[in-house]
């Protein structure tokens, strides 16, 4: 048996991570995953700071799905302080959240297509993604770190001209993305590299507690936290899911979620038009503890916050989706016939290392010794 190291710097890895593949010839039999190259300590930095600075820092947990982190942070504070948000703000949050989901899924699919060496579809996906990035910039003023969410609502409103542009862009985008999805779904080379590769079943998904599109591609629709969000319940949201559990299913779940997000944005715009009033209100934050979950593009993201009556963050814990999906990756390797399939399977879980890495300092109360655990 030989060990093939991949990373921590490798063309297929978006962020630093080391994977040690245990192989017999070309067949992958096991893997070790080493983290610890990009831990930033954002939770510790937040402690002792005012919650307004916490919003700013939460947006920097992830460089791709930055918006959902601010939304989860402010909704957790609103939950602790029992703050109701104006209806307009609720629908604007859905619109921005779903646009972010679309652009994140398009990056994930592009990276996967590059991994299986189908550069044409990869470039098409990155090209159409620009339409969505332009909409996010128009609504929030920025493309990545949007600074849109505040406790009590959102920072700015949209007007009629912007709404018309969102409708027109989505119509054009929907036609383009459907053509790309059809090319992916029917492509013979894509099928050979994706179907029956990296399979993980329902039972193994339950063992690993995988989340997001990884779980939904193995028959777990209830893993989508939008089902439990009050605004999405108004929109009668239905999750997308499959049962095959292979690389192809994971990518198709993301593709179908892109189409579902387009419909959610249209529904949210219709409800937004029926609303009146402002998009934010003056709030009074109360001290206490609470937790809130949302469905990020990669799956469940959890914030637990303890805050004082003065709005100072006493303690915060953030759990992002990739840490559970990395555990599921080890099971997927059992059906990877070659090393290149193992690399493509890693891309199929859409990992984000920067927002996943954590370090815990464990102190022995008997002898006072400390040790650091990284994961």
Binding-site members for Ni(2+) are 65, 352
Binding-site members are 43, 62, 65, 318, 352, 355
Binding-site members for Fe cation are 65, 355
Residues 320-333: b if buried by 16+ CB within 10 A, e if exposed: bbbbbbbebbebbb
Q: Are 7 and 17 in contact, with CB atoms under 8 Å apart?
A: yes
Give the whole-angstrom CA distance, residue 329 versus residue 214: 10
Q: What angle do CA 91, 280, 317 make, to 5 degrees?
A: 80
Binding-site members for Mg(2+) are 43, 62, 318
Give the whole-angstrom CA distance, residue 154 versus residue 149: 5
Which are the contacts of 198, defined by CB distance < 8 A and separation ≥ 6?
246, 247, 250, 332, 333, 335, 336, 341, 344, 345, 348
350 HSE (CA, 13 A, CB side): 29
**Residue 362 burial (10 A CB sphere; 0-12, 13-18, 19+):** exposed
Q: Which of 91, 82, 84, 74 is nearest to 276 (CA)?
A: 91
Give the whole-angstrom CA distance, residue 145 versus residue 93: 15
| Three-class SS state of 284 | coil
Give the whole-angstrom CA distance, residue 51 versus residue 62: 18
């Amino acid at each position: 048996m030989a060990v093939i190291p991949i990373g921590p710097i490798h063309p297929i890895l978006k962020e630093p991570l080391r994977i040690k593949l245990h192989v017999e010839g070309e067949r992958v039999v096991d893997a070790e995953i080493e983290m610890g190259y990009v831990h930033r300590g954002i939770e510790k930095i937040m402690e002792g700071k005012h919650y307004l600075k916490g919003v700013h820092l939460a947006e920097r947990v992830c460089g791709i799905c930055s918006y959902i982190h601010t939304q989860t942070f402010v909704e957790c504070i609103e939950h602790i302080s029992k703050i109701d948000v104006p209806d307009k703000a609720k629908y604007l949050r859905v619109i921005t959240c779903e646009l972010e989901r679309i652009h994140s899924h398009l990056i994930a699919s592009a990276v996967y297509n590059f991994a299986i060496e189908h550069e044409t579809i990869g470039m098409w996906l990155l090209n159409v993604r620009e339409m969505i990035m332009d909409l996010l910039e128009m609504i929030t003023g920025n493309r990545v770190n949007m600074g849109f969410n505040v406790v009590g609502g959102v920072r700015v409103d949209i007007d009629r001209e912007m709404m018309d542009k969102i409708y027109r862009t989505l119509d054009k985008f929907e036609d383009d993305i459907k053509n790309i999805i059809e090319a992916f779904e029917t492509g013979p080379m894509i099928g050979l590299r994706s179907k029956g590769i990296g399979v993980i079943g329902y039972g193994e998904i339950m063992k690993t507690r995988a989340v997001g599109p990884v779980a939904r591609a193995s028959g777990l629709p209830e893993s989508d936290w939008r089902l439990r969000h009050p605004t999405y319940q108004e929109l009668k949201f239905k999750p997308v899911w499959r049962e095959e559990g292979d690389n192809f299913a994971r990518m198709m779940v993301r593709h179908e979620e892109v189409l579902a997000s387009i419909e959610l944005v249209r529904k949210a715009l219709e409800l937004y038009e029926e609303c009146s009033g402002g998009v934010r209100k003056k709030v009074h934050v109360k001290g206490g503890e609470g937790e809130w979950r949302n469905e990020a593009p990669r799956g469940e993201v959890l914030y637990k916050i303890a805050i004082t009556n003065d709005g100072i963050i006493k303690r915060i814990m953030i759990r992002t989706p990739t840490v559970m999906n990395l555990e599921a990756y080890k099971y997927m390797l059992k059906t990877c016939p070659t090393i290149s399939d193992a690399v493509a399977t890693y891309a199929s879980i859409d990992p984000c290392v920067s927002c996943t890495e954590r370090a815990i300092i464990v102190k022995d109360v008997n002898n006072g010794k400390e040790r650091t655990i990284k994961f």
